[in-house]
Structure 1
Amino acid sequence: MSDYSLGTLEETILIILLMQEESHGVEIAKVYEEHMKQAISLPAIHMVLKRMEKKGLVKSSFGEPTPERGGKRKKLYRATPTGYKVAHEIQERRTQMWSQVPKASFNYGIA
């Protein structure tokens, strides 16, 4: 097991990066909103990405300049092998915990 502790938002953004080869902030926001059914700000995404990059879970690079962006380059992010390992370990721990929830627990939410 790794020694990484991730918050829910970090974990969600890491999974989004694992879903795609590489992505930038606006794309991450679109996927987040699609799957989580709620909006997220670009500054929040960039703050999380910087934090995860310091932890070695993601890495960034710059894409080519584009005329649509006035010659500016997009900062692209991708998950690292360590990021994949950490996300996979979290998933395994959650699956193990869910397997121990009694099936009777599922009846509590049904009216």
Structure 2
Amino acid sequence: MKKSILISISTLVIETVITLLISWKLSIRFIELMFFIGIACSFFIFWFTSKGGAVSQYIDSQNSALTGIVQERDPLRFRIGPAFKASLLFLLIGLIFFILLVTNIIPPVK
């Protein structure tokens, strides 16, 4: 249990630091970027924690063509771990802020 909490907190810290650095570099408010960074991080975590997807099948096909050994193909499997859950939490918080920005509840910077 402690390991999953540590992974979740470190994921949130890493995404926050990435968002802070990009917002500082582009001179954009932090809350304006949270949603988009959350989408990107969730996608990358999904990409690297899943197995048996299109890329895996492509690599297996190339290896089979080169070696002549046919490998068993795995269906797409994704493990929803603490890093993905934390990234989804960051994405949802960013979505709430994005909706508040779009509806002018949070005013634009003057």
Q: TM-score, normalised by structure 2?
A: 0.34
Structure of higher CA gyration radius: 2
The structure whose residues are more often strand, as a share, is 1
Which structure has more RCO (C-alpha within 8 Å, separation ≥ 6)?
2
